[in-house]
Structures are given as C-alpha cells and as structure tokens.
Structure 1
Amino acid sequence: MYQYLEQKMFKEAYQIACLGVTDSDWRDLATEALEGLDFETAKKAFIRIRDLRYLELISSIEERKKRGENDNEMFLADVYAFQGKFREAAKLYKRSGHEPAMKKAVNMYADLCMFEHCAGVTDPKVSLKLITKQADWAKSSEEPRTAAEMYLSAGEHMKAIDIIGEHGWADMLIGVARKLDKAERELLAKCAVYFKKLGHHGYASETYSKMGDLKAFLQLHVETSHWEEAISLVKEHPQFNYDVYFPLALWFAENSHFDEAQEAFNKAGLHNEAVKVLKQLTHNAMVENRFNDAAYYYWKLSMQCLDIARDQRKEMLQKFESFQHLAELYYVYRSIQLYTDEPFSSHMPETLFNICRFLLNNLTKDVPPGISKVNTLFALAKQSRKLGAYKLARYAYEKLQELHLPSRFRESVELGSLTIHFKPFQDSKELIEDMMCYRCSTNNPLLQSSVCINCRQPFIYSASSYEVLPLVQFYLEEGISDEEALSLIDLEVPHTDEGHAQGHTTDRGEEDPFTATMSFEQGGSTFVPVKVSRSALRSMSRRDVLIKRWPKPLKWEYFRSLLPDVSITMCPSCFKMFHSEDYELLVLQHTRCPYCRRPIDGHNGSTLQQSRFSEFPSLS
C-alpha cells in the first residue's frame, strides 16, 4: 500500500488496504489521498476510521466544486490549514493572488493570534481588517490601551472611544476628539458623554463647542450648575430660556432662594409657577410680620399681573390695581410696626405722622392681614400730640377706646385720653397748610381721603416722608399720542427763574397755558381731570414734567411740578416719587430703591439730580 502511495496511485493503494490494514494505515492513506486532491479515495478511507471532521471538510470542498470552483491550490491550502500546516497554507493562499484567498490567510492568522506572520501575506486592502482583528485580540487579552490604539489605526473610532472612556483616560480621549472632524457628530457626542461622566466639564464644553451643539452645551452648564455661563449664553440665544431658567428656578428653590426662583420661573415663561411662588412668599412675610418684604412681594405680584394682562386684560388689571394698593399699605405699615414694637424709631415725628394719616386714609373696612388699626391709631395719637395736632389726637384716642387694646397700650391710651382734653380742640395751622391742594390751593383736613375736598384732585405723596408733593397729574387731549407729547415738551427750559418765582407766567408776562387748564367749576361733586392741549405741552419745561411710562395695556401718566425749586426724583422701575434728598440718602444707605429694591450702582447717586424730570426716552 505504501509503495502505491509513493507513486500517488491512491485507488490501487485503497484496494490493497481493503485486504486488511490497521487504522493508522487507513489514516495515512486518507491523508495522502486528501493532499493529492483525490477526494473520493480520501472520503472512503476516512469513512473506514469514522473521522467526521475530515469528512465535513471533504463534503464542503465537493460542494464548492459543484458551484464551479476549480482552484486546486485553494483546496489544498484549505487542507493544509485544516491539518495545522499554516505556513504552507498561507503560501498557497498568497500564490493564488485572489482577494478571497488573501482574506482567508488573514483570518487564519488572526484567529490564531499570529499577527506577526501577516506581514508577508496581507494586502493593503485588508490591512485595516487585520488591525481590527488584532485590536479585538488585545481587548480580550486585557490590553485595553493597545486595543484602543489599534482601533484608532483601523478607523474604528467608536470602539476606541468606548475603551478609552470606560478606563477614564481623559487626556487620550480629548486627543481623539480634537482630531475628529466636526461633522462626525456621533463620535464627538460620545466623547462628550464620557467627559461628563469623568467630571472633565472643560473638555466636554470644548467638544460640544466643536460640534456646534448649543443646546447640549447649555445642558452641560445646567447639569454642572455653572449658572453664570448658562445665563450668559442664553442671553444671546433666548430660544433656550426654558432649558436654562426652569432648572435654575428649581435649583434656587431647593437652596431656599425663593425670590430668585420666582424670577427664574418668570424668565422661563412659567408665569403661573412664578405667581404661586410670589403668593407663598407674600403669605409667609405677612405671617412672620415682615411687612417690608410683604410690600415688595405684592409689588412684584402686581407687575407680574401687568405682564400677563396683555392676554387676560380685565381680570389681570384688577389684580394689578389691588396688589399695587396692598404693596403700598404694607410698605408704610412697616414703619408703624417698628415704632410700636421697637424701643427706637429712625423716622422723624413728622414722617410717622404723615405715614399714619396716609394709611388710615387708604384703609377700607376689610383691613389686610397683619395690619393693626390699633397700632396705627396709637402711633397717630402719639405723633399728633407731639406735633400739636390736638384735634386729630383726640379723634385717634376716641377711636382707640372703641377697639380691643393690647395690655401694653391700655395704660398709655387711658392716660392720653384724659390729658388730651386739657389741650386746645384744634390742629396746628402749619400742619393744615401742609395739606394744601396744589391745584386749587384749598387747605384740606388732616384726616380724610387722599383727594382734595374741593377739586377732587388726587394727592401725590412722597414715598419716603409721605408729604404731599407739588405735583398735578394731567391728561392729554384726544388725538395727542405719547410720542407727539414728548416731542412737544421742550428739551430746554423755556422759563426764566424770575418767571417761575412770579407763579405761572411766561417770560413775556402771559399766563401759563397749563394754569388755565387747572380751572374747574366750584362746588362740583365730580372730578374734572386736567387736560392739556398741544400749546400747553409746548409751553412746558422738560425739567417740570414727570412721566410714568407704564407698559401696555396701561397708559402713560403725566405729572407737572408747580414748584420747580422742589427737587423730586422718580424711580424708573416702580415709578414711586421722592424728595430728591431723601432718595439720595436712602440709595446711599441701601444701594437700591427703598420701594421696589431695584439695584442702583454707585454712579447713579451723582446723576439723581439730572434724572429728576428727564429720561426721554428712558427713566433709568
């Protein structure tokens, strides 16, 4: 049999073997026949020894031959590879020169992790696949850095990024991100995700910036609580207001910064949530007797309603008026509460006297929660007596005796009620003169509504001393727009100081057109507002006019100063008016408006005098 095998006579060798040989001889015969490409004889011999592995190989080769394959070198290479003769198989694969054969060689060495043998057999077309295989092997062999580098060489960036990110190699990952093209958004986004996990927010920002993904960039700042950067970006891109200000509002609320939370809700467009926060803050302030805060929150509520009024006009405007009224009541009551509860007061007696009268004049039957009528009347009685308003003091003591008094007030009220009868039943003339109406020159009672008893013109009060300011509100005639009114009011002062000193006359001795508009029918019970024409507007001096530029749907309000020498300042935010000296002092103390808390920087103190009646087009 072996002699026939030496002569490659496989069929004759098979016939001899059938006479009786060992399994080892059968295997030799089968192997020689297989390598000689005599698949029929090899198949019979392997059947004899029941070697299923080789039988499957032969079967696959026969199938390929049926499909038209006839490359015997490829068949032999497969046989060598099956036998473990890898070098010989590789040579045959290479000799064939076909791409499928080259791939087989690469796959063979890759499966065996014998990558050093691939240099001689691989083709440039399949080199990347070989490197990928080698990277897979390095990964499975727990050599992640090598695997990542090989994946990068093979262009398998996603696999490389996953390995680098999972092992926390941020410096290596940013190197990859910087080399990627900005159009490869998926890969860059993956890098950014790993940077966020690793806490390298600077690298994540750089990556998102390269991608041009502004929303993800903002989200990164939000997730890392870098609020200043997020707000700076959203100012340039307001379409992302909600994405920044809503989480900012929640963050403020979680950290007990409720004022800021309310503002953030508002900027996020969540007006209902902003109103809820404000209402809760207002309620808490009233319960805790923080009336200054309650006033501030009511003012903010009113401005919130004014903003919403553009959509829900009637209901919101009513709420605006109500909240504005409550804000002023709580604002003035704080001074009274401090006077009655604290041993010392920072207010002059005249100021407390004016504040008490203002509050009583504006209180209705339904007294707002937290405001004590007893405290107000007690403070009024004390200050009235001190300033010589004995008639008003007697009235206050009489009203106090009708109310339930706290024990700490009873003795003082009883004593005051007795001793006040030894005083004249009249008020100081100086105090009565302070309540003169600047429209009709009528002296008004110290305690009555906030309008003149003669002409019904509303009084305008200073928001610090609550003295009556020398201002008269006027309205534009039909057909005159706000813009036209502004253009008609002179930018330069048309009157001389001598003219003002004489009263309401012009430089030529003519009567001031505005004075004529203030006339009214004596004895009338209805209020006749002052309406000015174009000629009256044209005659006005810019420094004598104050304008409350309310946002729509409210109308602008115009005021004329009748005593130009009295310096008045109006806050450009809340439109409250002050004596300029008082306002300057309050701003120096608190660096903000005392009413609406609008911040005012150090430079504004020197320009307050300039902004008294000006600010066309802005009141800031």
Structure 2
Amino acid sequence: MCMNWIGDSSEYLAICGQNQKINLYSYEGCQIGHLTEEKSWILSCKKHPQEKQLVIGCQDGTIRSMQYFTPIVHSFYKDRYAFRDIITDVIIQHLVTEQKARIKCRDVVKKIAIFKNRLAIQLSDRVLIYDSAADDPFDMHYHIKEKVMLKFNCQVLLVASQHIIYCQDCKITCVNFQGQMEHFWCLDSSAQCIQQNGGPDGNESLTIGTTNGQVFKLNLNSAFPILLTKIDTKVSFIDLSSDRDKIAVIDCNNTLTVHSLQTKEILLREANITSAAWNQVINDLLCYTSKDTLHIVTVDYTCHQQPIEGVVVGFNGSSVYCLSSQFVRRIEVQLAQAMYYYLDAGRLKEAYQMARLGVSETDWRKLGNAALLNMELQIARSVFVYLGDYFYLTYIQQLEERQRHGSVQPPDSLMTSTEKLLIEAELACFQGDYKEAAKTFKKANHVERVVGLYTDLRRFTEAKEIMISASGDAESKNGECDFYSEEATRGLLAKHAEWARATKDHRTAATMFIEAGNYGAAIELAAEHGWVDVLLELSRKVDKGDRIHLDLCAKHLAKLGECAFAADCYARIGDVESQLDILIRAAKWDESLSLVQGNPEYTRKVYLPYAQWLAENDSFEEAQAAFARAGLANETVRFLEELASCAVSEFRFDDASWYYWKLSKQCAEVAKGSQDQHTKREYLRRFKDCAKRADVYYVYNNIYRYMKDPFATHVPEAYFNMARYLLQRLGKDDFDGISKVYPSKLYLLFTDLRVVIFEHICFFKVNR
C-alpha cells in the first residue's frame, strides 16, 4: 500500500494498494471516492510537482500517467455566491461585504443551490436546506432548516422558498422540503440552462433554455410551461431583465441576442459573447463579456468597456461580478458616460437612473442643472437631496411656487427660450458664476435682473453702468427709456448707501444718501459723526421749500456749535423766530439786534434775554436800558430793586444810592405814562421813597466809609453836617443796611469838638 497527498494545496490523500484502486480521502478522513481502478495491485503512486497529474506503477509492470481535476460546483444569486471547497465543504461569500461562511458537510458535495436566504446542498444520500436571517441582507449565519432524504443525480439543482427543483435531461422535478414530489414537467428536449426569477413564496418562476433553441417560463404551481422565444440553435445561457420584458440568450455559437418579450423583436445581436447579465436596478442596462473585455450597453448605446479576466455572472447597480476559476470578484464600473448620453438625448429619467449607479458629484450637479432647465423638478429635487444642497432645494421650492402661480411652464409644456435663459442665469448665480449669469440675463432681455444681481453683490458701480448702457440702447431703438429713470437710480444709490452704512463706511453712505435724495438719512449720519461739512453741503443742496430737512440741518448745526450756519438755514426758509432762537442761544446779540430792527414784533423776544445776559455780565445799566427797550417797565423796576437790594446787602451804599436814583426816575416815567390814577399814585409814592433812599444811601456811604476806612476824604465839619442831615432825614424810618449808631456817634463827637473850638476862639479874643 502506498499513500500520497495530491491537489493544489495537498488537500487530498490518495491511497492505493491491493484493492487495485486509488481511493481519495479528505484531510479529515472522509472518503470521497476512487480515481481509477487497475487490473493489478498498485504498488507506487507519485504526483506531478506542478500539474494535476498522477503517475502509478502496478504489479504487472504497468506504468501509467493520469490527469485528474475537481469539477467546479457553485451557485450564484444576486450578491451571494456559494461554491464547493475541497469537495466536502461549502463556502458562502457575500459579494458586497466580502464576508465568508464555511459549512463543513463531511461528505461529497454534489450540487449547490442558493436563493435569497435559502441554501441547498446535495450530498451523496440527502439534501440539506440551510437558511439565514430573512430580515438582514448581510447576515451570514446559516442554520440547517431541513434534511431531505433523497438520492438522485441531476444536471441542475435549484432551491426555492418551499421547494427543491432538479433537472434530469428533459425532466424537471419539484419536491417539497419533506421529500414529496409535487410537480414534474417533461420538455421536448433537454434543459440546457435554468434561471430562477423569484416570485411569491411557493409559486416562484423559472426560465429554461433547451437544446432545441426554445426558451420557456415555468411557474411552480402551473402544469404547463410558457414559450417565451425561440432561436435556431442550442441555448447555452439565458438571463431575464428585472422588469421581465426582455431576455438575453446566448447560443452554442456564442451569439448573443436580446429579445423583447412584448414585441417579440430582436433588440440586439452580438457575436463571440461568453456570458451576459442584466442590471438588477436598471431594466435596460446589460453587460456581457467578449474576448476578455467587459461591455456595458443599452439597446442603442454602448456605455462602458474595460478589460477583465473571467466571465460576468451578475450585474447589480454599478457592481459587476466576474467569475474566474471558482472565485467571484466585484468590479465597480463608471457609468457617467451613459448618463451624459441620456442627458444629451433629453432622457432625464434614464440619466437619473444611471447616476444612481454611481457618478461623481460634478456629474450629479450637471444632471440636477439639466433637470432644472427642463423643469423636471422631481428629478432635480432627488438629485440635490442626494447632494445635500439646501440652497438648490430652496430654489426648487421657489420654482414650484412660480409654477403653481403660472409664471413658469410645467415640464410637459413647451418652455419659451426666455424662460430657459432665465432659469439658466439663476443656476449660474447659484453656482457663483455671476459673470455668466449677467450675460444670460442680458441675452434674455432682462437687464433689470442684471442690475439686481450686481446690487445684491454690492457691485454698485457696475450696476449703474449697466443701467446707463441699457438706457442708451433703449433710447436708440425706441426714442424713450423707462428703465433708467430717476427713481430707479435713486433706489440703486439708496441700496449702495445702506450697504456702506452696514459696512461702517459712513461717509460714503452719507454721500450716497445725498445723491439718492434721502436727505434725512444723510443728516442723521452727519449729525451722528459730527460732520459739519456734510451738513453745510446738505443745507445748500436742499431746496428752500424743504422746511423739514432744513430745520433738521439747522438743529444739528446748532448742536455742533455752528449757530451762524444754523441761522442761515432758518433764514433760507424765512423762519425768523427760529433764527432768533439760535442767535439768542449762541449770544450773537449784534446779529439778533440787527435782525429785530427789521422785525419789531420780536423786540421783546430779543431784548429780554439780552437784558438778562447784560445783567449776568455786570452791565447793569445796559441791562436796565434793554429791559426798558423791551417795554417791560415792571421788569425794569423789579430788576433795579434787586440790584439795589444786592448792593445794600454787600455794603455798596454808593451803588445802592445810584440804583435807587435810577429806580426813582423809572417810577416817575411809569407814573407819567400811566393813565390809571391808582397806578400813577402808587408809582409816585414809590418815586418819593426811592428818591429818599437814594439820598440817604448816598450820605450814609460817606459816613460808613469814614467809620471803616483809616483815612477821611472830607473835613470833619462835612462829616458833622452829613450826620446831622442823615439823622434829620431818617427820622423814625429804618432802612436796610443803615445803622443809626454811626451818624449819632459822629454827631455827638463833632458837637463836643465844636464847643472846644468855640471856647478856644473866645479865649483867644478875650486875651487879645
């Protein structure tokens, strides 16, 4: 007996000896079968170091070389691929996540079938049914569900939700998971290939290609197959589109034909094709392999080509699944070219379907813009929702609103060229291509939109140039222009001013407000920042009939200390009273007095504050004259009384005498001019009293100075006579500030002095 490990990875053990056979075992010790049987004992067995060849030597002297291989057993359904590994194991691969699961059967795996979450494995004497979680498309945990104790040989094994289907030449048998046969069908010729199409649980459908060129559709609960189409030669491959309206058939000559099941016509024919697959997402998209090249086509357009190794077995979205040996690779293909083909043809729905399979963000945006231009707002919304572009979604809402109000046409209507140009310009704005947007707005003859665009961009100079240019063009054509109106220009300047104010460029804002004629805003800015020059410019620019703005200018100029300019503003509008108020507030008395000469009705208004100002500046005499000029006799008297009283309280008796003298004159004048006898008597009485007080205070001032000062200005006899006069004049009256002690003391002193002098004179005369 001899043993040898064979296989690509030495995974099989070949044992030979006296039984004249080469028996094959797995590495776990499971007997797989025998490779060959000789006529004598096999004494030696060696494998080729590189090829799958085995050399044996027998007892009868025979030396023979044999080649062995392990046939591929696999099954494919959408994104799951199951294949046999080392004959006794099954590996399930998820083609999206690249996860793999291994099932150890410890028996020879003859056939594999996979469908949705079901997996059927045919062993030597039974069929095992596995399933995974139905609600998780990525679940790879398979658990055994049923064991069907059936032993049969077949060319094709299929599994459904509740059945097992196997094909034996012309006969197709359907059994349930309990091993009971439910249906069988006998065809006219051998079934060459079978595709599972899905369907309701328990009533799935199959597509069958036969050796005589017929293609049938078979429902599991129907006894009669349905003929779909027929070709002239043997069918080697079939695939049904996702909408079940087209079928791809490859014959034994490797010719691909695509048949329409609705019109029964041939839509496409290609030679030298090895395999094909319809896209599971887009019904019209087909891929096929030819001479190691992958082709992705529609009925009328070749979308994509690229070299590959192997044959295509599935096409889901932008993923193509290619089988090479027993390994399936997923290849991502770019279908932007197909999207642009449909885009140029105006078939936006097909273009959107292509984009869904995977294109760049730039391609998505071009599709969205094209949809907007054609008012396919549903497609446009789907595109920009995918991109997460909320600005475009807002614009789509605006278009829908305009569509509801009839300002733009729906997609099934014929849009005018102007509407398309406007939407194109708006799209350019959203993309930031403002130069192109301006050109398109001009092309659509909507120059006002260009002006609005530049205004929103705060490019006011360009907006103004556009307005001037447009007005010139319109005038040359029609002789008149409403667009470049004074109102429109002012509106533009006002927006410029508001923007300048928002950006803290207040002086520019003030200038723009002046040009726009918004004098109120300009005055506010100038006053806020203390710009006297701007206020002066405004006061000269504003029409003299605009009393409101001139009044504002005057008030703010006055607050800023420019009273002369403020008065000029009031002079322009002829408001003498306000002009005088400003001049009086600024103590501009020369201008005020000059102005009041021509407007005598304001004499009292000017001379009263003038008199008060004079009094505050110690010009009491001028103040009294001003009071008198103002015609305020009582005010003059009261003012002089206050002055006299203040002088007395400050011991300025000379000033008090003078004030009382002036007061007596004023009382005399009032009495002289009064027609009322009572008033006349009253003022005459006050005249006498004031005259007396004037005399008394005048004399008392000398006595007071003599008593307080260290020197005398008069001879003693003068003071003696003053004291005599004062005592005689006062009598029993008491005046504020006057003390009778001083004159009495002087009188007694000088009385004694005069006696002594007289005695000396008498003595001198006697002695003589």
Q: Hey, what's the Cα distance between the residues in 2 that align with 1:38 and 1:347?
A: 126
Distance 2:631 2:571 in 1: 27
Aligned to 2:539: 177
> Are residues 357 and 140 of structure 1, via their aligned partners in 2, closer, same or farther at CA, if it must alter by over 3 Å?
same
Q: Cα gap change, 1:326/1:293 in structure 2, threshold over 3 Å: closer, same or farther?
A: farther
> What is the aligned partner in structure 1 of residue 16 from structure 2?
none
CA distance in structure 1 between the aligned counterparts of 2:757 and 2:349, rounded to whole angstroms = 147
> Which of 704, 713, 733 lines up with 1:366 in the alignment?
733
Query: What is residue 279 of structure 1 aligned with on the other side?
Result: 641
Distance 1:368 1:199, change over 3 A: closer
Q: Partners of 2:387 and 2:741 in 1: how far apart?
A: 118
One-letter amino acid of the structure 2 residue matched with residue 64 of structure 1: R
Residue identity in the other structure for 2:433: K
Pair 1:124-2:487 in alignment = no
- Of 248, 251, 259 in structure 1, the residue corresponding to residue 613 of structure 2 is 251
Q: Is the 8 A contact 1:30 1:45 kept in 2?
A: yes
Q: CA deviation at 1:132?
A: 3.1
Q: Residue 41 of structure 1 aligns with which residue?
A: 379
Q: Does 2:365 match 1:2?
A: no
Is the contact made by 2:670 and 2:680 (CA closer than 8 Å) also made in structure 1?
no
Superposed, 1:388-427 pairs within 5 Å as 405-406=744-745, 408-416=746-754
Could you report, residue by residue, the CA deviation over 1:339-360 in whole angstroms, capped at 9, with x for unpaired residues? Answer: 65554459998xx98x999978
Say which of 423, 447, 450 aligns to 1:105: 450
In structure 2, do the counterparts of structure 1 residues 45 and 260 end up closer, same or farther at CA, with 3 Å as the change threshold?
A: same
Report 1:252-267 matches (<5 A).
Answer: 252-258=614-620, 260=622
In the TM superposition, residue 39 of structure 1 has moved relative to its aligned partner by 2.2
Q: Which runs of 5+ in 1 are unaligned?
A: 377-404, 424-620
Q: Distance in 1 between matches of 2:403 and 2:759?
A: 133
Deviation for aligned residue 1:65: 2.1
Alpha-carbon distance between aligned partners in 2 of 1:48 and 1:254, rounded to the nearest angstrom: 84
Q: Superposed, which structure 2 residues align to 1:37-186 within 5 Å?
A: 37-70=375-408, 71-97=419-445, 101-118=446-463, 119-120=465-466, 123-125=483-485, 126-141=488-503, 143-164=505-526, 170-171=532-533, 173-186=535-548
Q: Let me know the Cα RMSD of the aligned residues.
A: 4.4
Alignment of structure 1 residues 440-589 onto 2, 5 Å? none
Aligned residues: 390
Paired amino acid for 1:284 = C
Q: Give deviations 1:423-444, integer Å, cap 9, x for gaps.
A: 9xxxxxxxxxxxxxxxxxxxxx
Shift of 1:172: 5.3
Give 1:433's aligned residue. Answer: none
Q: Give the letter aligned to residue 76 of structure 1.
A: E
Please name the residue that 1:435 is paired with.
Answer: none
- For 2:308, the equivalent position in structure 1 comes to none
Conserved in 2, the CA contact under 8 Å of 1:265 and 1:271? yes
Secondary structure of 2:402's counterpart equals helix
Q: Give the deviation of 1:211 after TM superposition.
A: 2.1
Residue 104 of structure 1 aligns with an amino acid whose one-letter code is: R
Q: Is the 8 A contact 1:301 1:320 kept in 2?
A: no
Find 2:558's aligned residue among 175, 196, 204: 196
Instruction: Give the 3 Å change call, closer, same or farther, for CA 17–229 of structure 1 in structure 2.
Output: closer
CA distance in 2, matches of 1:105, 1:347: 106
Establish whether residue 327 from structure 1 lines up as the match of residue 673 from structure 2: no
Once the two structures are TM-superposed, the CA of residue 112 in structure 1 deviates from its matched residue by 1.4
CA contact (8 A) 2:614 2:623 kept: yes
Letter of the 1:94 partner, please give it. K
How far apart in 2 are the matches of 1:323 and 1:260?
23
Taking a change above 3 Å as real, the CA distance of residues 323 and 308 of structure 1, as seen in their structure-2 partners, is: closer
- Identify if the C-alpha distance between structure 1 residues 48 and 415 changes in structure 2 by more than 3 Å, giving closer, same or farther: closer
Distance 1:418 1:90, change over 3 A: same
Could you tell me which amino acid in structure 2 is paired with residue 131 of structure 1? L
Alignment partner, residue 31 of structure 1: 369
Letter in 2 for 1:67: H
Deviations, residues 378-406 of structure 1 (Å, cap 9, x unaligned): xxxxxxxxxxxxxxxxxxxxxxxxxxx31
Quick check: 1:208–1:216 contact (8 Å CA) kept in 2? yes
Q: What is the one-letter code of the residue matched to 1:129?
A: G
Task: State the Cα distance separating 1:183 from its structure 2 match.
Answer: 0.8
The one-character-per-residue Cα deviations of 1:52-106 (angstroms, maximum 9, x if unpaired) are 3212111111111222213444333323222223233323433444xxx544322
Cα-to-partner distance string for 1:569-614 (whole Å, 9 max, x where unaligned): xxxxxxxxxxxxxxxxxxxxxxxxxxxxxxxxxxxxxxxxxxxxxx
Other-structure match for 2:184: none
CA distance in 2 between partners of 1:283 and 1:153 (Å): 62
Which stretch has the larger CA shift, 303-312 or 274-283?
303-312
Distance verdict in 2 for CA 1:366–1:207, change over 3 Å = same
Residues 193 and 77 of structure 1, relative CA distance in 2, 3 Å threshold? same
Q: Judging by fraction of residues, say which structure has more strand.
A: 2
Indicate conservation of the 8 Å contact 2:661/2:694, yes or no.
Answer: no
Question: Relative contact order: is structure 1 or structure 2 higher (C-alpha 8 Å, sep ≥ 6)?
Answer: 1
Q: 1:255 to 1:110 in 2, by over 3 A?
A: same
Indicate the larger mover: 37-46 or 272-281. Answer: 272-281
Equivalence for 1:555: none
Change (3 A) 1:222 1:51: same
AA partner of residue 210 (structure 1): R
- Relative distance call for 1:135 and 1:420 in structure 2 (3 A) is same
| 1:187-212 alpha-carbon deviations (Å, 9 max, x no partner) | 22333334334443433333222222
| Deviations 1:513-552 (CA, angstroms, capped at 9, x unpaired) | xxxxxxxxxxxxxxxxxxxxxxxxxxxxxxxxxxxxxxxx
Q: Output the CA distance in 2 between the equivalents of 1:339 and 1:311.
A: 36
Cα distance change, pair 415–135 in 1 and its aligned pair in 2 (3 A): closer
Distance 2:609 2:449 in 1: 57
Q: Residues of 1 paired with 2:357 and 2:443: CA distance? A: 40
> In the alignment, is the contact (CA less than 8 A) between 2:656 and 2:697 conserved in 1?
no
Amino acid at match of 2:380: A
**1:65–1:221 Cα change, 3 Å:** same
Distance 2:532 2:690 in 1: 55
Identity rate of aligned residues, in percent? 34
Scaled by the length of structure 1, what TM-score is found? 0.52
Larger C-alpha radius of gyration, 1 or 2?
A: 2
Matching of residue 223 in structure 1 with residue 569 in structure 2: no
C-alpha change, 1:288 and 1:110, in structure 2 (3 Å) is: closer
Q: Does structure 2 conserve the Cα–Cα contact (< 8 Å) formed by 1:195 and 1:204? A: yes
Q: 1:93 to 1:242 in 2, by over 3 A?
A: farther
| 1:272 shift after superposition | 6.7
Looking at structure 2, the residues matched to 52 and 65 of structure 1 have their Cα atoms a distance apart, in angstroms, of 20
Cα 1:356–1:328, aligned 2, differ >3 Å: closer, same or farther?
farther
Aligned mates of 2:534, 2:360 — CA distance in 1: 63
Q: Aligned partners of 1:66, 1:143: CA distance in 2, in Å?
A: 43
Compared with structure 1, are the counterparts of its residues 419 and 63 closer, same or farther at alpha carbon in structure 2 (3 Å cutoff)? same
**Secondary structure at the residue paired with 1:284?**
helix
Name the CA shift for 1:333/1:375 in 2 (closer, same or farther; >3 Å). Answer: farther
C-alpha separation in 2, matches of 1:156 and 1:6:
53
CA distance in 2, matches of 1:65, 1:124: 30
SS in 1 for 2:545: coil
Name the CA distance, whole Å, in 1 between partners of 2:592 and 2:682.
34
Residue 564 of structure 2 corresponds to residue 232 of structure 1: no
Question: 2:518 corresponds to which letter in structure 1?
Answer: E
Q: Which deviates more from structure 2 when the two are superposed, residues 154-163 or residues 138-147? A: 138-147
Provide, for residues 308-342 of structure 1, a one-character-per-residue CA deviation record: whole Å limited to 9, x for no partner: 99999576445423321123223334564466555
Q: CA deviation at 1:109?
A: 0.8
Residues 146-172 of structure 1: per-residue CA shift (max 9 Å, x gap): 444433333333344444555555455
1:195 to 1:245, Cα distance in 2 relative to 1, 3 A: same
Residues in 2 aligned to 1:183 and 1:347: alpha-carbon distance in whole angstroms: 77
